[in-house]
Structure 1
Amino acid sequence: MNLPKPYLVRTGLDEILAGLREGDAFPPERELALRFGVARETVRQAVHELLVEGRIERRGRGTVVARPKLVQPLSLKSYTEGAQRMGRTPGRLLVTWENTTVDAELAESLRVSPTKPVMHLERLLLADGVRIGLESTYLPLHRFADLVDDFDPTSSLYAAIRARGVVFGEATERIETVLPSPREAALLETTTAMPMLLLNRRSVDIDDAPIEVVRALYRGDRVAFVATLTDG
């Protein structure tokens, strides 16, 4: 049986990867095309699939085997805690910190008047210095106005919130796949063709008072999410 060339190429690339370790150089497209006896476009498509899956990455003018994806648990834990559990060094870069008004839907989620400002904190999430996510957090200003006095935006926001005596009760999250805007792609140092994981979350405290509304965009080639489910 004659198998399709794209299938044979992809199977061959998987075999090559199985013999390489993180950081090893991945063969260039021209060499792969000669090895498999196919057009470079066929190889290019298979390599693109591996890039999107996060199994290889561009580094300089070449391509190398990528680190495993950062696996984040879906829980009321901070990004810092999730990254550290995987032995990665978390980091954040501040993009925006402002008090601003929001639309009626977001105001309702935070239980504030649409005419009243809320706190907006936008930060890039890093793992071992690599930009993997863009997090936009909205907080009710009447609860957290004093963050401006002592909060370091490169540190854990959840730790700062808990230090104020706030106890997280529960959160509702929705995850979907999207493509980034040109601005988001530039901030995340990727292209608008890179699939993203979009996480929308609303958290409340044990008294059901809103804590935050978050829109977090994660690079699909760098991050995966995991949840633990129980029957009961």
Structure 2
Amino acid sequence: MVVPSHPHPADGPVRAGIPEHGRIPRYYAVKVRLLELIGELGEGATLPTERELSERYDVSRASIRQAVSELVLEGKLRRRQGSGTFVAPPKLVQRLSLGSYTESLRQEGLEPARTLITLEHRPADPGLAGELQLVPGEDVIHLERVLLADGERIGLESTYLVSSRFPALMDVFDPEESLYACLRDQLGVVFEGAEERVETVLATPREALLIGTNPALPMLLVHRVSWEPGGKPFERVRSLFRGDRLSFSTRL
């Protein structure tokens, strides 16, 4: 495959893939051409077969396969078993703020929903107790839900709340609705601040099954501890999101 030397809109990403020895990996040059093709085809369109792409770009099917695999991992393409590979829709944007998941998605014009997996009382292990300033073994409320956007599963959220702070939570909270709205409007919680950490991880087999994703796809993990005025923490949240369907934004 010959990569043109004249200026080209794809030169930017091509140059980004040039290693120190100066040779462009063949699959990466193919990937750039596929990005152009994705833009031309548009959301939901079917990608040509490996054989057709191999003939179009005059490269091996192995190079096509590697380029397509990377674009699937990045969320640019989607594979459907028995149907082919399709151009993926744009990623959803989750704002990093003290607002809730519900509010954030609705600002993007999407309809949030949740599926309850677990709602229980359990003793805090030493790590959780340390984060919530509790004594190990002290009771916490554990809430686990699959998160959806316009009916599509995009994440799994596990929240731990200090039971002694919210003795009436089980009586007033609807697991299909916003937890933060309940805490704020019905239980009088004032959010003073939170500390969040974002990292990339792979889902466990159980998590991948609940979210409906391939365990090999990268996930975005958000770990959050929130506190009320006075600095007393009241919740720890572990949110796992599909890296191919969601990105984060914040204003600094």
State whether TM-score is above 0.5: yes
Query: TM-score with structure 1 length normalisation?
Result: 0.93
- Cα distance per residue 1:54-76 (max 9 Å; x no partner): 11212452222212111111110
Contact 2:125 2:137 survives alignment (8 Å): no
Partner of 2:39: 18
After superposition, residues 10-159 of structure 1 pair within 5 angstroms as 10-59=31-80, 61-159=83-181
Deviation at 1:211, TM superposition (A): 2.0
Helix, strand or coil at the partner of 2:141: strand
Letter of the structure 2 residue corresponding to residue 137 of structure 1: T
Give the structure, 1 or 2, with the largest relative contact order (CA under 8 Å, sep 6 or more): 1
CA separation in 2, counterparts of 1:29 and 1:187? 31
Partner of 1:212: 235
Letter of the structure 2 residue corresponding to residue 218 of structure 1: F
Partner of 1:176: 199
CA separation in 1, counterparts of 2:189 and 2:25? 58
Partner of 1:193: 216
Letter of the structure 2 residue corresponding to residue 127 of structure 1: A
Deviation at 1:150, TM superposition (A): 2.3
Q: Which runs of 4+ in 1 moved over 4 A?
A: none
CA-atom RMSD in angstroms: 1.5
CA separation in 1, counterparts of 2:243 and 2:71? 12
Deviation at 1:20, TM superposition (A): 2.1
CA separation in 1, counterparts of 2:46 and 2:33? 16
Helix, strand or coil at the partner of 1:168: coil
Letter of the structure 1 residue corresponding to residue 148 of structure 2: L
Helix, strand or coil at the partner of 1:114: coil
Comparing 54-63 with 111-120, greater Cα deviation is found at 54-63
Contact 2:121 2:141 survives alignment (8 Å): yes
- Cα distance per residue 1:24-79 (max 9 Å; x no partner): 22222222122122222211111111111111212452222212111111110111
Q: Percent identity?
A: 52
Letter of the structure 2 residue corresponding to residue 205 of structure 1: E
Deviation at 1:139, TM superposition (A): 0.1
Contact 1:132 1:223 survives alignment (8 Å): yes
Number of aligned residue pairs: give it.
Answer: 229
Consecutive unaligned residues of structure 1, counting only runs of 5 or more, are none
Contact 1:9 1:46 survives alignment (8 Å): yes
Contact 2:147 2:153 survives alignment (8 Å): yes
CA separation in 2, counterparts of 1:59 and 1:6? 22
- Cα distance per residue 1:150-179 (max 9 Å; x no partner): 211111100000011111000001111111
CA separation in 2, counterparts of 1:179 and 1:213? 20
Contact 1:119 1:145 survives alignment (8 Å): no
Consecutive unaligned residues of structure 2, counting only runs of 5 or more, are 4-23
CA separation in 2, counterparts of 1:228 and 1:158? 21
